[in-house]
Chains A and B, each alone.
Chain A
Amino acid sequence: MVALSGVNLRVERGEFVFLVGASGAGKSTLLKLLYREETATRGQILFNGRNLGRLHPSLVPHVRRKIGVVFQDCKLLPNKTALENVAFALEVTGASGREIRRRVPAVLELVGLSNRLRACPHELSSGEQQRVALARAIVNNPAAVIADEPTGNLDPDTAWGIVGLLDEINRRGRTVIMATHAQGIVNRLNRRVVALVEGRINRDDRQGGYGHGPF
């Protein structure tokens, strides 16, 4: 079966894009193509001018470091503290110990977790866990952050906290692409909205909303 077809999308550096659509519309698939979890059977995907489909496997890690990814299930390591979970992402890039000690507490402070550094995921609320995941996504100073339904598991207030952080991250110059069903969030933020229907782009508004209703 075909998950996506005829998709033609250009996102500028520093943009904030909502990717909306029903379950199974192809949002996750499109995002996976962007961080090269999947490769397209046809067409091409360019990131910073690089064709991801033609990328040599040894270069994939280096592209990944330029893209922070956040998921609905935070994908934190359960037996590591918030600090260690974030440090992990920096360690694998070969950052120095000094660099890690400097940057990790700083990003955790940015997401408002200065007082929870030594807590393990099971000691954190879902919202706090998602903040740790966000901190991990940005600790490498990526050009873009991709969030696949990051608020899917959260209550409205907590969800707003996460979206507020993504907005902040975007204001600091990073491109943010967020897949979501949350109509309230999309409507209130009033940013670019790309709507997928059955694997095709059905609508692309520079500033738009998404249906009606609070969430």
Chain B
Amino acid sequence: MGLFRLFARGFREAFRGIAANSVLSLASVSTAALTLAVLAGFLVAAANVHHLATVVEGQLQVRVYLEDGLPEVDLRQLEAHIAGIPGVVGHAYVSQEEALERLRQYLGDDRFILEAVEEANPLPASFEIDVLRPDLVERVAFELKDQPGVREIRYSAEVVRRLLDLTNFFRLAGLAMAFLLTGVTVFIIANTIRLTVFARRDEIAIMKLVGATDWYIRWPFVLEGIVLGAAGGGVAALLAAGGYRWLFRFVVERLPFLPLVRPEPMLHNLTLVLLAIGALVGVVGSQISVRRLLEV
């Protein structure tokens, strides 16, 4: 049979089924959407924590944030002190303006977000200190902790390990939650389709009688499942994308030093993943409800 006709018929029948029990179909899509949105939340969280870990890990570095308006003299004195600590192999001063410029470059197309903060630059000046070996990082930080003009000190090592642990936690928790909720979704989709199967039992009996193959009979129901599941995935993707774009803007405005994963291309990939999982859930749900059709 022409592939096009097979598809056309499948979709026509699938949408006929969805229209015929719209309430349950809507419930299916909503459940799928909710499930996949939860999964999306965990995946996005994991991606961000992982990103944070790699950012931190990339730095064999101690960063000393300075108090605003530190006099030139104090700055020079602090710099001299830094250069004298054993284990320090280099250091660079990052002014408030430079910090803002870096953030602008990092944001790329999203830099308009910063328009609001151009007036009063919220970013502190800092020293970036390169350290010889990871085990020296903590000592360097300790040396600088109580120096005048120092507002805050950040360094990596231990943090990285904790962040990676957190990444794994988010991934596992996301998977576990998704697994559980997917079970519920499969159940609801299966029941929705079972209703369509029931409504068409006479038609199915006649199809069998006149020699329709099993696949021919099943195909529209499988498509119905795919449509329901993928629709849920689509809704979840919209929710996730909207939510994350908002969060990204919110965080960049208020906590500009927090390195979030840029929305693109992450959200694009996430959408594909959610659609695919939705469709897969639909296939499984429909298979459960049409399995019994096999018996002649």
* B208 at the A interface (CB under 8 A): yes
Chain B CB within 10 A, most for which of A57, A65, A94: A94
* A69 pairs with B203, CB closer than 8 A: no
Taking a contact as CB atoms closer than 8 A, the residue among A57, A63, A77, A91 that contacts B294 in the complex is A57
Q: Which of A89-130 contact B (CB under 8 A)?
A: 89, 91-94, 96-97
Taking a contact as CB atoms closer than 8 A, the residue among A58, A63, A88 that contacts B206 in the complex is A88
* A92 pairs with B210, CB closer than 8 A: yes
- Find chain B residues with CB under 8 A from A136 CB: 210
* B128 at the A interface (CB under 8 A): no
Which residue on chain B has the smallest CB distance to residue A95?
A: B1
* A58 pairs with B210, CB closer than 8 A: no
- Find chain A residues with CB under 8 A from B294 CB: 57
Which residue on chain B has the smallest CB distance to residue A60?
A: B296
- Find chain B residues with CB under 8 A from A88 CB: 206-207, 210
* B266 at the A interface (CB under 8 A): no
* A64 at the B interface (CB under 8 A): yes
* B214 pairs with A140, CB closer than 8 A: no
Interchain CA distance A35-B206 in the complex, whole Å: 13
- Find chain B residues with CB under 8 A from A63 CB: 211
Interchain CA distance A35-B9 in the complex, whole Å: 27
What's the least CB distance linking B231 to chain A, in Å?
A: 26
Which residue on chain A has the smallest CB distance to residue B217?
A: A92
Chain B CB within 10 A, most for which of A69, A88, A92, A96: A92
* A37 pairs with B296, CB closer than 8 A: yes
Taking a contact as CB atoms closer than 8 A, the residue among A64, A91, A94, A140 that contacts B208 in the complex is A64
- Find chain A residues with CB under 8 A from B202 CB: 75, 77
Asked, given contacts A77-B202, A77-B203, A94-B1, whether A62 binds B209 with beta carbons under 8 Å apart, the answer is no
Asked, given contacts A37-B296, A75-B202, A94-B1, whether A58 binds B214 with beta carbons under 8 Å apart, the answer is yes
- Find chain A residues with CB under 8 A from B210 CB: 64-65, 88-89, 92-93, 136, 140
* B211 pairs with A75, CB closer than 8 A: no
Q: Which of A52-92 contact B (CB under 8 A)?
A: 57-58, 60-65, 69, 75, 77, 88-89, 91-92
* B206 pairs with A93, CB closer than 8 A: no
A-B contact pairs, 8 of them (CB 8 A): A57-B214, A60-B296, A88-B206, A89-B210, A92-B211, A94-B1, A94-B216, A140-B211
Asked, given contacts A75-B205, A94-B1, whether A65 binds B211 with beta carbons under 8 Å apart, the answer is yes
Interchain CA distance A89-B294 in the complex, whole Å: 19
Which residue on chain B has the smallest CB distance to residue A142?
A: B211
Which residue on chain B has the smallest CB distance to residue A94?
A: B1
- Find chain B residues with CB under 8 A from A57 CB: 214, 294, 296
- Find chain A residues with CB under 8 A from B207 CB: 88, 92
* A191 at the B interface (CB under 8 A): no
Extra inter-chain contacts (11) besides given A64-B208, A75-B202, CB under 8 Å: A61-B212, A61-B213, A62-B211, A75-B205, A77-B203, A77-B206, A92-B207, A93-B211, A93-B212, A94-B1, A97-B5
**Which residues of A approach B to under 8 Å, CB–CB?**
35-37, 57-58, 60-65, 69, 75, 77, 88-89, 91-94, 96-97, 136, 140
Which residue on chain A has the smallest CB distance to residue B212?
A: A92
Interchain CA distance A88-B206 in the complex, whole Å: 9
Which residue on chain B has the smallest CB distance to residue A62?
A: B211
Q: Which of B185-216 contact A (CB under 8 A)?
A: 202-203, 205-214, 216
Which residue on chain A has the smallest CB distance to residue B295?
A: A57
Chain A CB within 10 A, most for which of B9, B202, B212: B212
- Find chain B residues with CB under 8 A from A77 CB: 202-203, 206
Interchain CA distance A60-B209 in the complex, whole Å: 10
Which residue on chain A has the smallest CB distance to residue B296?
A: A60
- Find chain A residues with CB under 8 A from B212 CB: 61, 92-93
Taking a contact as CB atoms closer than 8 A, the residue among B2, B203, B211 that contacts A61 in the complex is B211
What's the least CB distance linking A96 to chain B, in Å?
A: 8
Interchain CA distance A93-B1 in the complex, whole Å: 8
Interchain CA distance A89-B2 in the complex, whole Å: 17
* B1 pairs with A64, CB closer than 8 A: no
Considering the complex of A and B, which 3 residue pairs feature the smallest CB-CB distances, nearest first? A94-B1, A92-B212, A65-B211
What's the least CB distance linking B42 to chain A, in Å?
A: 42
Interchain CA distance A61-B296 in the complex, whole Å: 10
Taking a contact as CB atoms closer than 8 A, the residue among B203, B209, B216 that contacts A64 in the complex is B209
How would residues 237 to 280 of chain B score, 1 for a CB under 8 Å from any chain A CB and 0 otherwise? 00000000000000000000000000000000000000000000
- Find chain A residues with CB under 8 A from B5 CB: 97
